[in-house]
Chains A and B, each alone.
Chain A
């Protein structure tokens, strides 16, 4: 690259640069190549943490559920974990397994949703529908277990709100069989297809060192070879009793590149892992006699107990996108004194910059989407309006991306 050439900058977003959520990039462009990138956040701030200081912990569960439509289980659950630790509440054994089932089901939903979006970004809309057909089944199963498809309302401090009884097992097993039968189809398309490989290999590389320095989490970090997974590092729920291991791309290919392809591998293998984990949990549950699924079934009694709590706690979970961490400080009042929510995308924003540097404009959608960003999770406090600038719209970018795929085919 000659240094005499002048570069120019283009703003991208904030309307849907990659996923259907607002985030704004400003790229320094030299011809087709990205020289530098800046990220602007804060377009969907909703003052969630501030609102929480005016609610009691049980009300906050439902508020936390609305932080994000996809992680509507892990946010309230991390909050519940933080409160349980501050208050010293112990969860019944059966509930620990039920919590794992919900968490893994959410992971299946989220990863397949992401896989569909990734296919869409590079112009494979038929694959989008094929994968979302599978997700539909996962949502049906969520509805069967929680009564809701998206905001699940299953979390309670000290346990869960619904049990899984023996007569529900056939439906769960049937669903798991469907996932297993269709998983092979997905695997073939995403991992063996030539065009998919052309678009995703050696693209959007994040080195292991960058991933560690920039504190990347979840599949983004694991695809760069960092063995980091809260479920194994510091097991919560019943994960310690279950048999599974870190998913890094070298499990399949024997090497780690940290590119978009590796991130696809990690997510797909995690879908398979989640199916297996749910199976293990179902087996465990059938061995535990039915009974308590929550430490204190009476909500009023629980609230009185929580009102007296003075202390602080941290709840950590491996959400589909990576580590979620909630901090709660309670000072013997009805509402918590302070609540901090850290969603995985918060940490996966800075790694975007090394990923995007050196790539082409047409690669922006797939690289940006490859971390599975969730802006609603990340932005929570305040209000932001963007300045009026000429924009490259999401449609333009998508068109460029599809054209690049066509060229490669």
Chain B
């Protein structure tokens, strides 16, 4: 473990000096925590996907084993953004730092490099991002699904908000063929549509 702990400002500065333009945005959030309102620091950076691996390597010079917490991800329309959450300097009372790296990935080329050779513990997180967001992680050591079942449609990704999202499966549940023996649909549904929606539940309760 490195003996000297850098301040969050120095870490951001160091990364900016090394990667220059590829650091797209950076900010340091301060949160007052606890009865004495002590300062809690979260570092947020937006970086280009080409420097993800070099950044992890840079973190490994600060902490021999940077702790990879998880990667979050969401669909932003044109791009998919993945947020890698790392912590370094654990084991030092109150000195731990949370570093969040947001990586925008264009939907027309949704690929990102694997970091599993540096941090083997990142495997499940990377697999999850593949099946939930439909990105491709290059050189992932185990290219299989973890949470989504094998019979789930190939080209559908639960966290997407576009046409590849789960909406067609979710929204039309009532259209699906009901199981045998279930009560038949009555004409009531059409009548109910004409009435104000507020009255509907009250009427059902009386019945």
Contact = CB atoms under 8 A, between A and B. Distances in A.
Does A pair with B?
yes
Interface of A: 40-42, 45, 47, 49-50, 85, 90, 93, 96-97, 212-216, 226-228, 230, 232-241, 246, 312, 314, 316, 323, 325, 327, 329, 337-338, 340, 342, 346-347, 349-350, 379-385, 387
B96 A233 contact: yes
Contact of A381 (B34, B122, B147): B147
Given A233-B93, A240-B94, 5 more contacts: A41-B147, A85-B29, A90-B32, A314-B85, A384-B150
Given A323-B69, A347-B121, A384 B148 contact: yes
Interface in B127-167: 131-132, 145-152, 158-159, 166
Interface stretch (B13-21, B49-57, B70-78, B190-198): B70-78
Contacts of B89: 233
Nearest to B95: A233
A45 B94 CA distance: 35
A241 B121 contact: no
A342 B69 contact: yes
A47 B32 contact: no
A381 B150 CA distance: 14
Contacts of B121: 213-216, 347, 350
| Nearest 6 Cβ contacts at the A-B interface | A215-B121, A233-B96, A340-B72, A338-B74, A227-B91, A342-B70
A235 B41 CA distance: 11
Contacts of B150: 384, 387
A350 B120 contact: yes
B42 A314 contact: yes
B35 A96 contact: yes
Nearest to A212: B65
B23 interface: no
B98 A314 contact: yes
A329 B151 CA distance: 31
Interface string B41-65: 0101000000000000000000011
B11 interface: no
Interface centre among A230, A240, A387 (most CB of B within 10 A): A240
A382 B94 contact: no
Interface of B: 29, 31-38, 40, 42, 44, 64-65, 67-70, 72-74, 83, 85, 87, 89-98, 100, 119-125, 131-132, 145-152, 158-159, 166
B90 A227 contact: yes
Contacts of A213: 65, 119-121
B93 A232 contact: yes
A364 B74 CA distance: 37
Q: A42, A232, A233, A346: which has the most chain B beta carbons within 10 Å?
A: A233
Given A213-B120, A340-B70, A384 B149 contact: yes
B146 A41 contact: yes
Contacts of A236: 33-34, 40
A384 B147 CA distance: 7
Contact of A337 (B33, B35, B74, B97): B74
A215 B68 contact: yes
A338 B33 CA distance: 24
Contacts of A384: 147-150
A85 B30 CA distance: 9
Contacts of B97: 234
Contacts of B73: 338, 340
8 contacts: A45-B148, A90-B37, A93-B35, A234-B97, A241-B35, A312-B44, A346-B125, A347-B121
A385 B68 CA distance: 30
A240 B94 CA distance: 8
Contact of A382 (B40, B68, B158): B158
A91 to B, nearest CB: 9
Contact of A240 (B34, B67, B83): B34
Nearest to A209: B65
Contact of B31 (A49, A85, A381): A85
B146 A228 contact: no
Nearest to A340: B72
Nearest to A94: B35
Contact of A232 (B83, B94, B124): B94
Contact of B94 (A93, A216, A234): A234
Contacts of B65: 212-213
